[in-house]
Amino acid sequence: MQEKTSRYELESTLLQVAGNYSWTWDLQARELFNRIPSLNGEGALHPAERIKLLSEEDWERLTNDAEFSALARDAHSNLPKPLQINDGTTVAYFSPEFGVSEMLPQYSGGLGVLAGDHLKAASDLRMPLLAVGLFYRDGFFRQALEDGQQRERYVTNNPRFLALTATPARVELQLADRQVTARVWRTNVGTTRLFLLDTDLDVNDEFGRRVSDRLYSGDREHRMRQELLMGVGGVRAIRQLGYEPAKFHLNEGHAGFLALELLAEEVAKGLTLDEAVTAIRTRIVFTTHTPVPAGIDRFAPDLMRKYLGVWADRYGVDLDELLKLGILPGGDDHFNMAAFCVRIAGRCNGVSRLHGEVSRAMFSEVPGGSEITSVTNGIHARTWVDPEMQMVFDDKLGPDWHLPAADAWNKVDEISDDEIRTVFASGRQRMISMANSQLGHETNLDPDILTIGFARRFATYKRADLLLADIERLTSLINDGDRPVQFVFAGKAHPADEPGKDLLRNIVRFAGDPASNGRFIFIPGYNMAVARAMYAGCDVWLNNPVRPREACGTSGEKSALNGGLNFSILDGWWDECFDGENGWAIPSSVADDPQQRDREEASLLYDILGDEIAPLFYGPGGIAPTADWLNKVRHNWRTLGPFVTASRMVKEYGERIYQVAAGS
Ligand SMILES: *Cc1c(COP(=O)(O)O)cnc(C)c1O
């Protein structure tokens, strides 16, 4: 009897801890779930699923483990309490993807991870924020390698195993001549609520069920349906659930159609379209994420007419007038979602200082475009800093080191060389084990060699293969007798991006070339877990995009907090954060010819790596990394620590962009 009761209690406690994604950063919860046996095969399973799969013997063991039970109780008592959020200061944050955890595969890259980090930091700051997106039944693809190429595989997600709870909301939406119904899932990310719309319902026909099938897949028309579901459907969902947000934050233009629902409400009151735009602007905030025109969502006029004709008819709006709101002056007749969002948002921002400048130029002809400001992206430190390093920070800097305005970082000199070396060595070992397990065989990675990391989406402007520009120079760095260098790569190419897949093939081919001596590897199956292990396991983080196409870039910020030194083109966040000492800059070439530019920048990259980085790491013999290297690591923490966090970013959004502080 006794044992049965305790098993019931333990199971209920564990499920409650698994039911709030605060376990992705709470150290006790992470430790707790690390002790729950995982099944082999499909990678790590969500704790909610693992708990449901435990055997009788597992329960027998766990219920008899007093330490485990105590840990479970502690993690449970740390669970964030839900915030009362309907007080007129609430922000509704809309995003097509959310990277909360690799176990909730509803993200493709940096945009989604940023959204996840935004929710987590809002939770840390107790900011009243709720988030809205889609639940993609098949998520984003999982990557495998086959014959040196990327293979894409989709796995169907079961919401019951992902800590999603059904809400009573049912959203009806007209998509051209079809009627679609969506349900709304809810989960908690600390004190913030995340709502995800899902059309995979029996009441829908096959067409309807497929609307929310996969992230970033299908043709333009499919994307249009998804964006209408997220925007229009999303507003209807939160209204049904009783929320009346003061602000709507569009994380990139994909959710811009939410304005249709808000405009309709104003037009129904008798306002003209122009007046309605003015009326909703104070409630809308838009963050633009790409300085690359080809990266912006655009819809052909025919498609717009097909999907928005009904809407315009219903509210007596002149469709042509609506379509004009999406025209980018100097562009074509397509409806440009970013131009539309700039027109309908009262506040717009880019995601780094440089990107703000580029965006003002890009939208200068759009009303409001010259007022675009910037809030530089940050990262959720408790999610991304390795737990061993976090424990050193907690001990030496105090537990608030990850919060804004922490002068904690001035105390980094109290962290000794030995402490840093110990955590680095452990991070390296764990990265090597992760690489071996992802690749399914032992790699030749050497734990004592200077290790350069590169992991991100394989979009062409990021130039994943720039290092391959001169194989001879690259191999001489790799095989240097005194100061060898090794490289670790990971990343996915979008399934439809053939040039991106070519880059990936080039990297994989060189990794298999004997000339690379096993010191240049590509890790397949890129996701947040692979990325985390790399930030904690690499000495240097390389980023070599074509300037100024990297709007911000956040992987370098994650590496920096883990003690990695950035080695990057002066683009995005690095353009404003590099101070001459906290890492290295790769100068940008002024050549007009792209090939010439790539050659020149690659050549500088080899120079700096061989002449400055490797000598500092190895020193004149003895222990690597040298004391001088570790001083640079501390300087990196001191200068970047207070700035690169998502808590600093979200605080800035609150003060400068949302401006919804209670009482205002
Ligand atoms: C941080 C992160 C990114 C963003 O990388 P960039 O530096 O912005 O290119 C992409 N994917 C994952 C999984 C990440 O964790």
Q: In this structure, are 433 and 370 located in the same domain? A: no
Ligand 1 atom with minimal separation from the 527 CA: 13
Q: Calculate mean pLDDT across residues 16-27.
A: 97
Q: Is the distance from CB of 376 to CB of 553 less than 8 angstroms? A: no
Q: Is residue 253 a part of any domain in this protein?
A: yes
Q: Calculate mean pLDDT across residues 635-644.
A: 97
Strand (E) or helix (H) holding 627 = helix 627-640
Q: In this structure, are 353 and 426 located in the same domain? A: no
Q: Is residue 437 a part of any domain in this protein?
A: yes
Taking each helix axis as running N to C, give the angle between helix 417-439 and helix 627-640, from 0 to 180 degrees, rounded to the nearest 10: 90
Q: In this structure, are 141 and 25 located in the same domain? A: no
Supply φ then ψ for residue 492, to 5 degrees. -110, 145
Q: In this structure, are 54 and 104 located in the same domain? A: no
pLDDT digits (tens, 9 = 90+) for 137-177: 999 999 999 999 999 999 999 998 999 999 999 999 999 99
Q: In this structure, are 161 and 122 located in the same domain? A: yes
- If you measure from the C-alpha of residue 496 to the centroid of ligand 1, how many angstroms do you get, rounded to a whole number? 19
Strand (E) or helix (H) holding 165 = strand 165-175
Whose C-alpha lies nearest to ligand 1, atom 6?
553
Q: Is the distance from CB of 584 to CB of 565 less than 8 angstroms? A: yes
**pLDDT mean across residues, the chain:** 95
Q: In this structure, are 224 and 306 located in the same domain? A: yes
With bands split at pLDDT 50, 70 and 90, how would you rate the model's confidence at 2?
very low
pLDDT at 538: 98
Q: In this structure, are 152 and 287 located in the same domain? A: yes
- If you measure from the C-alpha of residue 110 to the centroid of ligand 1, how many angstroms do you get, rounded to a whole number? 4
Residues in the ligand 1 pocket, defined by CB under 6 Å: 109-110, 113, 456, 528, 531, 553-555, 558
pLDDT at 368: 94
Q: In this structure, are 223 and 108 located in the same domain? A: yes
Which token pair is 3? 């044992």
With bands split at pLDDT 50, 70 and 90, how would you rate the model's confidence at 41?
very low
Number of domains in the chain: 3
Q: Is residue 653 a part of any domain in this protein?
A: no
- Checking if the pLDDT of 40 tops 60, the result is no
Residue 551: which CATH number?
3.40.50.2000
Q: 418 lies in which domain range?
A: 383-641
pLDDT digits (tens, 9 = 90+) for 446-476: 999 999 999 999 999 999 999 999 999 999 9
Query: Considering only CA atoms, which of 238, 310, 213 is closest in space to residue 94?
Result: 238
Query: Of 357, 374, 391, which one is at a domain's C-terminal end?
Result: 374
Q: Is the distance from CB of 185 to CB of 195 less than 8 angstroms? A: yes
Q: Is residue 154 a part of any domain in this protein?
A: yes
Q: In this structure, are 100 and 14 located in the same domain? A: no
**451: β partners:** 486
Q: In this structure, are 357 and 396 located in the same domain? A: no
pLDDT at 295: 85
Q: Is residue 328 a part of any domain in this protein?
A: yes
Whose C-alpha lies nearest to ligand 1, atom 13?
528
Q: Is residue 46 a part of any domain in this protein?
A: yes
Whose C-alpha lies nearest to ligand 1, atom 15?
528
To the question of pTM greater than 0.95 for the whole model, the response is yes
CB proximity list for 300: less than 8 A, separation 6 or greater: 220, 334, 335
Whose C-alpha lies nearest to ligand 1, atom 2?
110
Q: Is the distance from CB of 197 to CB of 234 less than 8 angstroms? A: yes
Q: In this structure, are 38 and 95 located in the same domain? A: no
Q: Calculate mean pLDDT across residues 373-390.
A: 98
Q: In this structure, are 107 and 73 located in the same domain? A: no
**178: β partners:** 175
% of the chain with per-residue pLDDT over 90:
92
- If you measure from the C-alpha of residue 554 to the centroid of ligand 1, how many angstroms do you get, rounded to a whole number? 6
Query: Of 15, 49, 77, which one is at a domain's C-terminal end?
Result: 77
pLDDT at 43: 54
Q: Is the distance from CB of 255 to CB of 98 less than 8 angstroms? A: no
Q: Calculate mean pLDDT across residues 252-273.
A: 96
Q: Is the distance from CB of 657 to CB of 250 less than 8 angstroms? A: no
Q: Is residue 654 a part of any domain in this protein?
A: no
**92: β partners:** 130, 248
pLDDT at 662: 56
Supply φ then ψ for residue 232, to 5 degrees. -65, -50
- If you measure from the C-alpha of residue 109 to the centroid of ligand 1, how many angstroms do you get, rounded to a whole number? 5
Query: Of 374, 405, 422, which one is at a domain's C-terminal end?
Result: 374
Q: Is residue 85 a part of any domain in this protein?
A: no
What whole-number distance in Å separates Cα of residue 628 and Cα of residue 632? 6
With bands split at pLDDT 50, 70 and 90, how would you rate the model's confidence at 202?
very high
